[in-house]
A and B are shown apart, each in its own frame.
Chain A
């Protein structure tokens, strides 16, 4: 296992280098400049030239890139052009908030998605199945932004049950977790249904039933456990997406997460911050995929790490 994990982590290094290079090239191809982007009203040529020189933007791109990679290799992601703060520190500061939202949203998604998906598979082509399909498709289709505003209006402003935005304690997570979680619940329910339908038709399920195993054990212990294997891939990708920040949800609910700092960095062409957040995203996906692969063997012992 250790050898496998080490090999996978080492294989991630070229991925990160590739991501950093592509990001660097894109940053410089896209119009816009960190100096002028930050100058709200006016920007005379002399001031622009002076600031570009001080920020090191007048140096050859190759020099700039290798300086970034060299520092990143030893854990230094540079300093934000705008806030003058270390990029790594800024991301780490935003991470717990993103993790809280991601964790609670995923919990909602799993708690709703798996039971509903399973039920829909067990009652295939029944009223429950149709209702489940319609509901899940509605949640997938409805823009998160719109659902979030409606939820704020109803539960925050009209009923005053929940805070509208910000974060000052766990109660502030309820609305974002529900809004984001129900959307992911919908897709998890769809995948669970499909996967369960496939597993329920397999021989081992028929055998278990023939042997007189109680139906609830057949469903929850045998069928669902096997149906989870493909589902883990989906959940892993969704956790990756959630951990790198749900930009719209963070904006609407005023949550200070990674998504917000990423979008701000792009708006202001804060190159070190863009590189840092994109690299962070890449690391999250590499690690999440690794964890998903490891979890396959835990769910299905037939799968071995090699």
Chain B
């Protein structure tokens, strides 16, 4: 009996200990999952094959997003935020009082996928590659403000004078003039850092066999079919990435991509517009919303649309609330300004842009305009967009004929670059969160023609040039706010419509997707449930 009691007690103690261990293990695994250490292969469908994974040469968001997984930049945005943090740097760079010279120090121990150590030499070689004309880089704007950049682009220099190497990990960047958004530019994908030896060896082929310091490295590339990345085991942020790899499969057709997502083949997807509400309300998937920096607008050739009353009439004829609700399923906000709210320097408080068709008619009458026909170009689709259809209907009510001309993207881009598009309903997604990215691009005489705005005013040029170089952020932001009030809210040079909210549908087993305001985000913090 006694022995039996002992056995029972022993069993009870053992069971208790076992339960305690199991509970502890369960607790640990819960913590583990929260920390996101479960791997998996993340599968995404893409509309077309990236021609190259080389963000210096390619200008598409698709390549930028791929690049964020393969490469790293000197600084980057914090997840879901517009605040910068060091990525390849040990600390945030320090600028001298003149805001022309910046001092950089790289993290030590960072290696490229090929095992080579990251040094200052790689930074300089990367920037020089971008600025060497023979390399056909399209994103030179990112580095254009560095001292000596223009000389390189003009073929007058072979070396970038503005990057001064001090030792293996330290270097200075000297600008040609103070440039407010410089660090933001360095956080964009085109400023990714490449290994000096590999870019020299591979030349133009680097983009098909990219080597970076990013969380994933290229494992396989089946032309026009599949780009497969695998975890970089030597990634400099210990414990990251959580995923074992990423697969990008090319499926051009939207309906097919959505069917594959519904079948569970892909981890994230986007439904065709007609299925958006049903997909959102089904509860079968995660619907992840995030703020993005964009403005959808109506733009005109300023040489044609010279009468402010006509431009204002168009603005008054647009019922933005209806556009948002009926066309966008409320996936956005009404635009009250051109520079997206949230960007430091954007106008903070302003009234809604008015909807007043009667006043619009009166303004057109005052301007002596009757039967106004506007040829509005639309890019890259074979049917009139829902937004253009709605704008067309609204303008018709005040007597304006908004004639949508559909052209393929090549024709549109070419005409736009020559300043030949009379009007269009377009959008701008910010490259970096600064009013300069909007106002300089559309209203500086050196850029405006390339966007078919054809605006030219030396006084505005001076404000934009001065604001770029100003160190006093308060003063700088006020300059942009004043300029926008004049150009947009008083003169209606561009008519803001809406700001789109970013969203993605993800399977329920996916974790860690936040979405970034710039729409460019890597997958280093994403993970999937085990077995998925």
Binding site for B on A (CB under 8 A): 30-33, 36-48, 50-51, 53-55, 79-80, 82-85, 90, 93-94, 149, 152-153, 156-157, 160, 164-167, 251-254, 256-257, 260-261, 264, 267-269
Give min CB distance, B521 to chain A, whole Å. Answer: 18
Known: A164-B263, A165-B256. 10 other contacts (CB 8 A): A31-B407, A36-B416, A46-B153, A50-B133, A156-B259, A167-B225, A252-B256, A256-B222, A264-B49, A267-B409
Given contacts A43-B417, A51-B136, A80-B51, contact A37 B410 (CB under 8 A): yes
Residues of A within 8 A of B225 (CB): 166-167, 254, 256
Q: Which residue of B lies closest to A160 (CB)?
A: B263
Whether A43 lies near B450 (C-beta < 8 A) is yes
Cβ-based interface call for B260 (8 A)? yes
Whether A82 lies near B51 (C-beta < 8 A) is yes
Given contacts A93-B223, A157-B263, contact A149 B51 (CB under 8 A): no
For the complex, give the distance between the alpha carbons of A132 and B403 in Å: 47
Between A32, A264, A268, the greatest number of chain B beta carbons within 10 A of the residue's beta carbon is seen for A32
Whether B256 lies near A32 (C-beta < 8 A) is no
Given contacts A41-B59, A50-B133, A51-B138, contact A83 B256 (CB under 8 A): no
Whether B251 lies near A254 (C-beta < 8 A) is yes
Give min CB distance, B378 to chain A, whole Å. Answer: 15
Q: Which residue of B lies closest to A261 (CB)?
A: B224
Residues of B within 8 A of A160 (CB): 263
Give min CB distance, B377 to chain A, whole Å. Answer: 11
Cβ-based interface call for B38 (8 A)? no
Partner of A32, one of B57, B205, B265, B414: B414
Chain A proximity mask over B424-459: 1 for CB below 8 Å, otherwise 0? 000011010000000001000011011100000000
Give min CB distance, B151 to chain A, whole Å. Answer: 13
Partner of B207, one of A54, A84, A267: A84
Given contacts A90-B223, A260-B224, A261-B224, contact A45 B410 (CB under 8 A): no
Interface set, chain B 2-25, CB cutoff 8 A to A: none
Residues of B within 8 A of A32 (CB): 408, 410-411, 413-414
Residues of B within 8 A of A51 (CB): 136, 138
Residues of A within 8 A of B407 (CB): 31
Whether B208 lies near A264 (C-beta < 8 A) is no
The 4 closest A-B pairs by CB, nearest first: A32-B410, A256-B224, A37-B410, A82-B51
For the complex, give the distance between the alpha carbons of A54 and B260 in Å: 41
For the complex, give the distance between the alpha carbons of A46 and B446 in Å: 9
Whether B417 lies near A45 (C-beta < 8 A) is yes
Query: What are 18 sample pairs from A and B whose C-beta atoms fall under 8 A apart?
Result: A33-B410, A33-B414, A38-B59, A39-B413, A41-B428, A41-B431, A43-B450, A93-B223, A94-B224, A149-B255, A165-B260, A253-B256, A254-B249, A254-B252, A260-B224, A261-B224, A267-B409, A267-B410
Give min CB distance, B7 to chain A, whole Å. Answer: 54
Whether A36 lies near B204 (C-beta < 8 A) is no
Whether A37 lies near B414 (C-beta < 8 A) is yes
Residues of B within 8 A of A90 (CB): 223
For the complex, give the distance between the alpha carbons of A186 and B415 in Å: 44
For the complex, give the distance between the alpha carbons of A41 and B426 in Å: 11
Range, interface on chain B: 35 or more
Binding site for A on B (CB under 8 A): 48-49, 51-52, 57-61, 133-134, 136, 138, 140-141, 153, 204-205, 207-208, 222-225, 249-253, 255-256, 259-260, 262-263, 265, 407-411, 413-417, 428-429, 431, 441, 446-447, 449-451
Whether A256 lies near B223 (C-beta < 8 A) is yes
Q: Which residue of A lies closest to B411 (CB)?
A: A31
Given contacts A37-B414, A164-B259, contact A44 B450 (CB under 8 A): yes
Q: Which residue of A lies closest to B57 (CB)?
A: A84
Give min CB distance, B250 to chain A, whole Å. Answer: 6
Give min CB distance, B303 to chain A, whole Å. Answer: 16
Residues of A within 8 A of B263 (CB): 156-157, 160, 164
Give min CB distance, B178 to chain A, whole Å. Answer: 21
Give min CB distance, A43 to chain B, whole Å. Answer: 4
Residues of B within 8 A of A41 (CB): 59, 428-429, 431
Given contacts A42-B451, A47-B138, A167-B225, contact A31 B256 (CB under 8 A): no
Give min CB distance, A190 to chain B, whole Å. Answer: 29
Give min CB distance, A305 to chain B, whole Å. Answer: 39
Q: Which residue of A lies closest to B45 (CB)?
A: A254
Residues of A within 8 A of B204 (CB): 79, 84
For the complex, give the distance between the alpha carbons of A254 and B223 in Å: 12
For the complex, give the distance between the alpha carbons of A53 and B224 in Å: 29
For the complex, give the distance between the alpha carbons of A303 and B428 in Å: 66
Give min CB distance, B374 to chain A, whole Å. Answer: 20
Whether B449 lies near A45 (C-beta < 8 A) is yes
Whether B223 lies near A82 (C-beta < 8 A) is no
Residues of B within 8 A of A261 (CB): 224
Q: Which residue of A lies closest to B447 (CB)?
A: A44
For the complex, give the distance between the alpha carbons of A37 and B414 in Å: 7
Give min CB distance, A198 to chain B, whole Å. Answer: 41
Whether A152 lies near B259 (C-beta < 8 A) is yes
Partner of B223, one of A33, A40, A94, A164: A94
Given contacts A38-B59, A157-B259, contact A48 B252 (CB under 8 A): no
Whether B260 lies near A164 (C-beta < 8 A) is yes
For the complex, give the distance between the alpha carbons of A254 and B225 in Å: 7
